[in-house]
Amino acid sequence: MNEFPLLQNDFYMMLYGAVASFCILASLYLLLRPHNAFSAFESPVGLRRWTAAFVASMALSHVWWLALRKAPPDGSPLAMNAIATFLDTITLVPLAMIVMLRMLQDRCRPLWGVGVAMLPIPFITLGVGVAGRNPGFSQMLIDYLLVLSVLFFVYMGVALFRYGRWLRDNYADLEHKKVWQVFLMEVVIFLMFYLYKYSGESDISEFSVQVGSALLTALLLWRVETLPQLDEVEESDETGLPVGEFMGDRETEEIVRTEERQGKENLDEMSEKFQKDASADRLRDASLVERIDELLKNHCETPQLYLQYDLTLTKLCAAVGTNRTYLSAYFRQKGITYNTYINKLRIEHFMNLCREAIASDQPFFAREAALLSGYQSYRTFTETFKKLTGMTATEWIEREKK
């Protein structure tokens, strides 16, 4: 007797084949195409490769399920199900976790934890399911993956919060850089798995899983294609002011030099916290704050450096002639972020363009003025304008015309 009757249905066979083919094409596209098709910037190479591996594993999942379900009837259905489940969980689950982690570019998070999390899976599927011939292996696996999913959800929530804070501290234009969609991807994977496992093999669950797989693949393609490779944020005392110029104590200087040697990715959080606190203490000296005020005015505000849409904190440090440690501490001392500082200058530039046009009785086009004010996207401009002024750009322009 066939244990998997749905796959005798021609419709489901065609659906399996269509989804598998889509996944294969998506994987090949990510691996073989060096440039994005729908955007001018480059996406992270590592992310493209890991995503290609995950999408390929989705295609292979269709292959081995079909192969095992079409196996001769004298085989053990329990053993075949355990083997297919093992192959799924040992490939799809860790690759999905790695893809989500690689979308966060504030630092390169170690992947060894993902490998450790996979260690119980061979024991549950192969040990209990195949060798032990215990049908309860499926419930054991579901319970384990439920706990693992909850823990990973919590970890990703904290990581996303830190990533968002890092973006606000280093980038003025956040369009396409945020990756809140990773939570959506997690939810899709979570629901597909539990829908399939808890509802058993039925028309609804089978169809939902296949459609969900196709939608997830499309979402991943879009996210990888629109997520730019972000600049690494590193310290350098070649950007102008020597590292020790604003520093008076040897301990703080040593921490900064340690960060330079190890790079952003390996910076210890305790050292970073001490570094920030020490920097903030040094910046309480009014003369140092005034010095940075003067540097920003001479090298950013007067030459209108903020009009460069791709200006980052690192690039601003190089132009101003200081290091990121002190510039970041300066913004914290002012109670703002780098994002707020640059966007205020851009919005003020937009307002000046509008006032000049009104004063000279010239036509004023908000979209064009937004581009001239350093915004690559008009949507980003409108959201920023509303956030900083409390009104829409259209409302403000109408008020200025009165």
Q: What is the pLDDT of residues 24-55, one digit of tens each?
A: 999 999 998 877 776 667 888 899 999 999 99
Helices (H) and strands (E) in the chain, counts: 17, 0
C-alpha–C-alpha distance, residues 336 and 259, integer Å: 24
CATH number at residue 9: 1.20.1070
Contacts of 229 (CB under 8 A, 6+ apart): 41, 42, 43, 44, 45, 105
pLDDT of residue 270: 33
| Top-confidence residue, 322 or 111 | 111
- Contact 291/330 with Cβ under 8 angstroms? no
* Nearest CA-CA partner of 20 in 55, 48, 65, 59: 59
How far does CA 346 lie from the centroid of its chain? 26
Residue 147 lies in a domain: yes
> What is the domain count for the chain?
1
Residue 41 lies in a domain: yes
pLDDT > 70: what percent of the chain?
A: 77
Q: Is the pLDDT of residue 162 over 70?
A: yes
Range of the domain at 200: 5-226
Q: Which two tokens stand for residue 125?
A: 């599927």
Q: Which two tokens stand for residue 140?
A: 């054991």
C-alpha–C-alpha distance, residues 380 and 373, integer Å: 12
pLDDT of residue 269: 43
Q: Is the pLDDT of residue 399 over 60?
A: yes
pLDDT of residue 213: 84
Q: Which residue has the tokens 């249905």?
A: 9
Q: Is the pLDDT of residue 238 over 50?
A: no
Residue 13 lies in a domain: yes
Residues facing residue 312 across a β-bridge: 171
| Top-confidence residue, 262 or 185 | 185
Residue 361 lies in a domain: no
Q: How many CB atoms lie within 10 A of CB 303?
A: 11
Q: Which residue has the tokens 């730019």?
A: 228
Q: Which residue has the tokens 């956040």?
A: 174
pLDDT of residue 381: 92
Helix (H) or strand (E) holding 59: helix 45-69
pLDDT of residue 14: 80
Q: pLDDT tens digit string along 326-379? A: 888 888 888 889 999 999 999 999 999 999 999 888 888 999 999 999 998 898
* Nearest CA-CA partner of 216 in 252, 197, 191: 191
Average pLDDT rounded to a whole number, residues 133-160: 88
pLDDT of residue 353: 94
pLDDT of residue 183: 75
pLDDT > 90: what percent of the chain?
A: 29
Q: Return the axis-axis angle of helices 378-389 and 338-359, rounded to nearest 10°.
A: 100
Q: Which two tokens stand for residue 100?
A: 């989500």
Helix (H) or strand (E) holding 162: helix 137-170
Q: Is the pLDDT of residue 137 over 90?
A: no
C-alpha–C-alpha distance, residues 329 and 318, integer Å: 16
Give the phi and the psi of residue 279 in degrees, each rounded to 5.
-65, -40
- Contact 116/132 with Cβ under 8 angstroms? no
Q: Is the pLDDT of residue 232 over 60?
A: no
| Top-confidence residue, 9 or 160 | 160
Residue 84: pLDDT band with limits 50, 70, 90: confident
C-alpha–C-alpha distance, residues 67 and 87, integer Å: 13
Residue 204: pLDDT band with limits 50, 70, 90: low
Q: What is the pTM of this model?
A: 0.76
C-alpha–C-alpha distance, residues 32 and 270, integer Å: 41
Residue 63 lies in a domain: yes
| Top-confidence residue, 215 or 204 | 215
Residue 112: pLDDT band with limits 50, 70, 90: very high
The mean of the pLDDT values for the chain is: 78
| Top-confidence residue, 321 or 302 | 302
Residue 344 lies in a domain: no
Residue 279 lies in a domain: no
- Contact 343/172 with Cβ under 8 angstroms? yes
Q: Is the pLDDT of residue 273 over 80?
A: no
Q: Which residue has the tokens 């040697």?
A: 261
HSE (CB half, 13 Å, CA atoms) of 399? 8
Residue 382 lies in a domain: no
| Top-confidence residue, 267 or 308 | 308
Collapsed DSSP state (helix, strand, coil) of residue 153: helix
Collapsed DSSP state (helix, strand, coil) of residue 312: strand
* Nearest CA-CA partner of 190 in 209, 204, 203: 209
Q: Is the pLDDT of residue 260 over 50?
A: no
Least confident piece of the model among 91-105, 134-148, 263-277, 284-298: 263-277
Evaluated on CA atoms 34, 40, 46, 52, the torsion sign reads negative
